Amino acid sequence: MDYSNAVPVTREIYWVGFYDEAARLHCNPYLLVDEQDVVFIDPGSIPHFPVIMRKVMEVVNPEQITYVIAQHQDPDVCGNLAVVEDVINRHDLQIVAHSNCIRLLRHLGLRSAFYATDAHDDRLILKSGRELQFLFTPFLHSPGAITTYDVKSKSLFTSDIFAAMSVDWALFPSGDFLTPMDLFHQTYMPSNRILRHCMERFERMDLERILPQHGSVLEGDHITQAIAHLKALPCGIDLVEEGV
């Protein structure tokens, strides 16, 4: 697959990430293109900004972007927000995040209005009536972490949950896609108890695809396999207690 350009995941969702062949961790910003709104999800880092924005411009004029969702505040997720904001250059742009995350995002010096998900019934209704639902996933791995569910496409954008690290990265997995999730979750997620509770919420959802900020897009049986795998994975404090 050619990763030098934007990659359509569906007819309305595009991967606009940075592919570094030498890296083990690849970042996956996404564009959701609706009728009258464009939503930019986890826009990425400063070093990757030129490549990411070029790919955005392949899909839309940046001035069409009406919302930027920051699912948590890590620099690889949204460190480029101030520059993205300048390029979009519209007075009504809104930065969507949980209030626990917004508290930290304010230090980026953004001028756009914040849309606190927890102050809006954990949902955002686009102009077309399309609904985005936000699931608060605290401590996975940030106190303000959220995931974003697009009801229309049944797509769940999960940020660092389901993240994977691999030199053999592919946007759509082949072969062993579960083992590459282990190191990231064991390093960055606090405990199996918290992760398992989240997986139990996800397995009750009607999902056609999972789109993490690192790793591969999961569809079909890959979803149920990944949920079952992470439900059983010891991580964080579990490993410290075991002396690992």
Considering the domain boundaries, does residue 205 fall inside one? Answer: yes
Between the alpha carbon of residue 63 and those of residues 11, 37, 173, the distances in Å are 20, 10, 33
Considering the domain boundaries, does residue 113 fall inside one? Answer: yes
Domain holding 123, by residue range, is: 7-241
pTM for this model (two decimals): 0.95
Tell whether the model's pLDDT for residue 237 goes beyond 60. Answer: yes
Tell whether the model's pLDDT for residue 50 goes beyond 60. Answer: yes
Considering the domain boundaries, does residue 2 fall inside one? Answer: no
Copy the structure tokens of residue 136.
Answer: 């608060």
- With bands split at pLDDT 50, 70 and 90, how would you rate the model's confidence at 108? very high
Residue 29 carries which side chain, given as an amino acid letter? P
For the stretch 136-155, pLDDT in tens is: 999 999 999 999 999 999 99
CATH code (residue 105): 3.60.15.10
Across residues 157-182, what is the average pLDDT? 92
Considering the domain boundaries, does residue 58 fall inside one? Answer: yes
- With bands split at pLDDT 50, 70 and 90, how would you rate the model's confidence at 243? low
Q: What's residue 22's pLDDT?
A: 66
Q: What's residue 23's pLDDT?
A: 65
Considering the domain boundaries, does residue 1 fall inside one? Answer: no
Cβ-count burial of 178 within 10 angstroms (0-12 exposed, 13-18 middle, 19+ buried)?
middle
For the stretch 183-197, pLDDT in tens is: 999 999 999 999 999
Domain count, the chain: 1
Across residues 29-46, what is the average pLDDT? 97
Across residues 216-244, what is the average pLDDT? 91
- Across the beta sheet with 65-69, what order do the strands follow? 7-8, 13-15, 30-33, 38-41, 65-69, 94-97, 113-116
Tell whether the model's pLDDT for residue 244 goes beyond 60. Answer: no
